[in-house]
Structure 1
Amino acid sequence: MISYLEWSANAVFVISVILAARNNVNTWWTGIIGCGLFAVLFYQVNLYADVTLMVFFILTSIYGWMYWGAKKQLHPIQRTKMTNFVSFIAAAVLATLAYGWLLHEMTDAYAPFIDSIVLMFSVLAQFLLMKRRLETWVCWLIVDTVAVPLYFSRELYLTAFVYGLFWC
């Protein structure tokens, strides 16, 4: 059964993503609200890496809000050098393994390594988004591909559906 918390988190999150796609500065404060709601939801279903991710998103949303809001003109969208991007991916994989192991050893986390993929590739995607890099979308596709079955397995059907829509 879908809870009011899951409905609310997804509704606010969808608004934030639509605003981001339109380069609207309001994406950041709506994202903060959505992430706060998702942090509570993910804690309830033992997806602790996702809770960590939501805290990270709240902090980076504050930065993004200030960075985008302070500029009269946004920086243009750019590409990342392939060698840099490959290095970023390698770092995300190593961080995934380390955090997944930590969660596996120290918590009752559900699917700690899979959940850590969502965390680490979302972190990478967020940094690329804040710097207005085109490759952010590759990372978001990886996140959505892993997150949909993970959330479905935790009976977060609406969240899995929304992430599936983002993938499309």
Structure 2
Amino acid sequence: MGPLAWLFDATLTVAGHEVLWREVVGNLFGIASAVGGLRRRVWAWPVGIVGNVLLFTVFLGGVFHTPQQADLYGQAARQVFFVAVSVYGWVRWRGARRAAQAGGPADAPAVVPRWAGRSGWLLMGSVAVVGTVACAAVFSALGSWGPWADAWIFVGSMLATYGMARGWIEFWLVWIAVDAVGVPLLLSAGYYPSAVLYLVYAGVVVHGFVVWWRARDEAAAAASPRDDLVGA
């Protein structure tokens, strides 16, 4: 077995269960990406892509012969879409950061948070319902583990990532809903490092929601006329 093959198949034992190192490493990249998103840094997108590639091979347990041997097609498919949406977010945030730096400090955040508004909520709600029903039917036909939960995690993750790219504060709330379903699904399927990641995400997500909300209020206050200039 060559060194690359060994790294690909390397495992460790956690509480009597064998897990892949690449699942652990992929999830660490995911946490780093979440922290970068909280700080509104462009590097969050490429870091997240690395984790997505690793986790794609993890969630197709039967195909890549992982210890779990349970295929989560929704979890695997969302890694592919994560990459596509992350490229969109990467390009969008780079352009926004250049514009911010042109008229402000060199370390200006890549995006100014804002509420999605009625149209944004209508879009997310419609996609959430229709997408979850459609994906659940597909995942059931494929024999995915927990097709309805898997479907919501897939659709919700896409909505959250798209919302992050657009700078919508509500994307953090969508992640909370994804985490609430993801933890029990991953525990039941034996993907323990990923389940732990979802628990860690929950804390990051709540903090991120507060940080983005405050950043939005600060930006709005900075853009409004100063009280002492009113009526001058």
Q: Distance in 1 between matches of 2:86 and 2:126?
A: 25
Shift of residue 8, structure 1, vs aligned partner:
1.1
The aligned counterpart of 1:28 is: 45
Structure 2, unpaired ranges of 5+:
1-17, 62-69, 101-109, 204-232
User: RMSD in angstroms over aligned alpha carbons?
Assistant: 1.4
Counting only pairs closer than 5 Å after superposition, residues 54-73 of structure 1 correspond to structure 2 as 54-71=79-96, 72=98, 73=100
Q: Distance in 1 between matches of 2:200 and 2:83?
A: 23
Is structure 2 residue 21 aligned with structure 1 residue 4?
A: yes
Q: Which 4+ runs in 1 deviate beyond 3 A?
A: none
Conserved? CA contact 2:163–2:170, under 8 Å: yes
* 1:48 alignment counterpart: 73
Secondary structure of residue in 2 paired with 1:2: strand
Q: TM-score, normalised by structure 2?
A: 0.68
Paired AA for residue 88 in structure 2:
Y
Whole-Å Cα distance in 2 between the matches of residues 79 and 67 of structure 1? Answer: 17
* Residues 105-140 of structure 1 deviation map (CA, whole Å, 9 limit, x = unaligned): 2x1211111100001111111111110001101100
Q: CA deviation at 1:83?
A: 5.5
Structure 1 partner of 2:166: 131
Deviation at 1:86, TM superposition (A): 4.2
Q: Does 1:18 align with 2:45?
A: no
Aligned residues: 167
Structure 2 distance, partners of 1:125, 1:19, is 15
Q: Determine helix, strand or coil for the equivalent of 1:79.
A: coil
* CA contact 2:89–2:162 (8 Å) conserved in 1: no
Residue type matched to 1:41 in 2? V
Deviation at 1:84, TM superposition (A): 3.8
TM-score (norm 1): 0.93
Aligned counterparts of 1:85 and 1:67: Cα–Cα separation in 2: 21
Q: Deviations over 1:9-42 (max 9, x none)?
A: 1111111111111111111111110000111111
- Larger C-alpha radius of gyration, 1 or 2? 2
Percent identity between matched residues is 26
Conserved 8 A contact 2:93-2:111: no
What are the ranges of 5 or more consecutive residues in structure 1 without an aligned counterpart? Answer: none
